[in-house]
A and B are shown apart, each in its own frame.
Chain A
Amino acid sequence: MTEPTATRVHFYQVGSFAVGNRLLSADDRTVQSNPARTNSIDSGHRACQGCGEALGARYALDAAMRATNDRLVAVNATGCLEVFSTPYPETSWRIPWLHSLFGNAPAVATGVAAAMRVKGRDDVRVVGQAGDGGTVDIGFGTLSGMFERNDDVLFICYDNEGYMNTGVQRSAATPPAARTATTDVVGPEPGNVFGQGKDLPRIAMAHDIPYVATATVADLHDLERKVEHAMEMRGARYLHVLVPCPLGWGSASSDTVRLARLATESGLFPVFEAEHGVVTGARRIRRRVAVEEYLRPQRRFAHLFSGAGRPDVVARLQAMADANIERYGLAPDEGE
């Protein structure tokens, strides 16, 4: 986040702020733009159209591969990513990959890292990955244990805000008011209730681990950079990536990246990074939008806008976004 100058020229697309690779120096170009990338998750997997998790995982793992000179092992929790990538007898994984259980991916990753260390193979690095259920709920105990021991694992949570693999049930990462199969839009407080849920990036920071960051599939270059930065460090690192789910969110497959962008531009999903428990940087909002603009395209929030709508509930969500903007200093730069 460099300071703007009067003569600054912006080379980005007006809508997405995406910058063409040709305008970047070779070092800054995305991993995905390189035809020699590893394709850690190869094509042909069974993810839904517009799957944010498939997109995020592909970018994250290829970036991790580049950062480690292809010396990477991935450990996977049970979930969509595991299921759609390994339909018997096929596998999309071109890297060593281990799936054990739903709630133990952080501990399994610890075991892999310990094995590599004891064998003197310090060049081989470990990435653990899970959805939000496997991270904030059932895997939380093993994740916290991995964090406090500062094991040499980068753990990536692909957060689509619910148990999508089992048919869209609520997790502790499901936002308030969202409709899921276990938070139906009935009764006086339709959808998921307010005042619950876990803010895992902040919980991770409370462990004082070397690196915690959030990212979205709207800014894949930022995601790649954060993965590569994380792989430059040793110890427990945590990356929380927002990955919209067309199925679970009731959104168009073509809207995955746009929704991720609106999540950040509304302030509902703050994108920041922290080292040893201290926030070191936050991505400022480029063009601030009301939360309504993010909520409206998602059927899980449709009950907030049908009939007379629930402006009171939308206002509460807006207040959450405002609080994030205040907490992380996300307000748009006046110079933009």
Chain B
Amino acid sequence: MLQQIEGSRAIAETVARCRPEVVCAYPISPQTHIIEAIGAMVKDGRLTPCEFINVESEFAAMSVSIGASAAGARAYTATASQGLLFMIEAVYNAAGLGLPIVMTLANRAIGAPINIWNDHSDAMAVRDAGWIQLFAETNQEAADLHVQAFRLAEELSVPVMVCMDGFILTHAVEGVDLMDQELVDRFLPPYEPRQVLDPDDPVSIGAMVGPEAFEEVRYLAHLRQLDALELIPTVAAEFAALTGRASGGLVHPYRLEDAETVVIAMGSVLGTIKDAVDARRDAGERVGVLGITSFRPFPIAAVAEALREARRVVVIEKSFSLGMGGVLATDVAMSAPWLGQRLVTVVAGLGGRPITRRGIEDVIERARRDDLAPLTFLDLDEGVIARERARMSASRRSGPFAENVLRDLGTATEARR
């Protein structure tokens, strides 16, 4: 039923209809509303049978999920940012063990400096962990991706992370067509584990594997990711047949036909980018968008195909690898090596900085004029940076640089008044 609903609540309602059996909760902004709502549903009996466990850390949240999943229960948890990093050892472990846990990641920046707002640094930090990582563009897609995530996870025996932009999606109230229980049940069969801790058929899970077999075990995990490249579109197509909605899949092309300039991005910023592209198209420019839904596994072939005719590609990403540059852009470059210098990275939206339609239109315009550096930081305040660099060279003990920047900005604001 179509409802005007907060993103987090839409996720909670949808996850509940996926009949999770063990849900772990440890609060971190901006994920809290999701687990609060699921907790209430378990407590009032709407979601049963389900064990809702208030754990003492994210590390425990993922660890309890590992135990529950290995014992045959459908396990779910949610986290963000520092929480994901705090559980990272268990995140790798869950994938290494092949446990089909589903986790919502309410994307948020990583400190220091501490920052609660949205970017994609957290998801990028675990891109090599062996989880499937799906990025939602809207709350509708975020909700739908959770239903697909359980299907994918359990068919492949691989954990799935549904990434949705913190606050921008989690706290936005908008229309979401929630699947009813009967529809979810038709799409998502009960969990049949590939491996399970059962006294009637004892197995050892988590044995030490030495050099003689480690590479093969890891390669098998890689193959399962490649299997996911096949399964993700199949599941999305089946989902579309059931609901009429084009949620999920590997990529979302938009106005790519005859596009000379292609903008690539992930997550909620795609909406604003589409508005910008529509405006440029209205002005007669050949611009299109490629949204990446599946970041892991990375859809190399689909991206290559979509970029076949592109004259230039702009990857707008909400994270970057310090000392190197774009993370998503690197994967795009691997997919379309012929682009060479015609591919540029624009880092934007770090720590919640708004990405505006006007800013994107400006980026597109500069790209058309070949006026973008290979690695461009959108809206970078060069003055602030120059002044801090000057302070650092003027004095050995120049102090903590984040605080210096804040003080600098505060002074600048005062001066403007």
Interface residues of A (CB under 8 A from B): 70-73, 75-76, 82-83, 86-89, 91, 93-101, 103-104, 107-120, 124, 141-142, 144-145, 148-149
Contact = CB atoms under 8 A, between A and B. Distances in A.
Given A89-B213, A112-B68, A107 B197 contact: no
A333 B71 CA distance: 48
A109 B63 CA distance: 9
A97 B204 contact: yes
16 contacts: A75-B67, A88-B210, A94-B202, A97-B197, A97-B202, A98-B70, A98-B205, A99-B204, A99-B205, A100-B63, A100-B97, A107-B60, A107-B63, A111-B66, A115-B67, A119-B73
A193 to B, nearest CB: 29
A97 B70 CA distance: 10
Contact of A86 (B59, B67, B207, B213): B207
B67 A145 contact: no
A91, A99, A112, A149 pick with most chain B CB within 10 angstroms:
A112
Interface string B46-80: 00011101111101100111111111110100000
B89 interface: yes
A96 B197 CA distance: 5
Interface of A is mostly: mixed
Contacts of A83: 208
Contact of B208 (A86, A94, A145): A86
B84 interface: no
Contact of B199 (A95, A114, A145): A95
Contacts, number: 160
Nearest to A73: B197
A111 B64 contact: yes
Nearest to A83: B208
Given A115-B67, A118-B22, A119-B73, A101 B93 contact: yes
B203 interface: yes
Interface in B393-408: none
A326 to B, nearest CB: 34
Interface of B: 21-22, 24, 49-51, 53-57, 59-60, 63-73, 75, 89-90, 93, 97, 197-199, 201-210, 212-213
Given A112-B70, A118-B73, A86 B56 contact: no
A118 B49 contact: yes
A101 B68 CA distance: 15
A147 to B, nearest CB: 10
Contacts of B55: 107, 110, 145
Contacts of B65: 111
Given A104-B63, A107-B55, A110-B53, A76 B68 contact: no
Given A82-B208, A110-B64, A144-B56, A101 B89 contact: yes
Given A83-B208, A86-B208, A100-B206, 11 more contacts: A72-B199, A86-B207, A88-B207, A98-B70, A98-B206, A107-B63, A111-B70, A114-B53, A119-B49, A120-B49, A142-B60
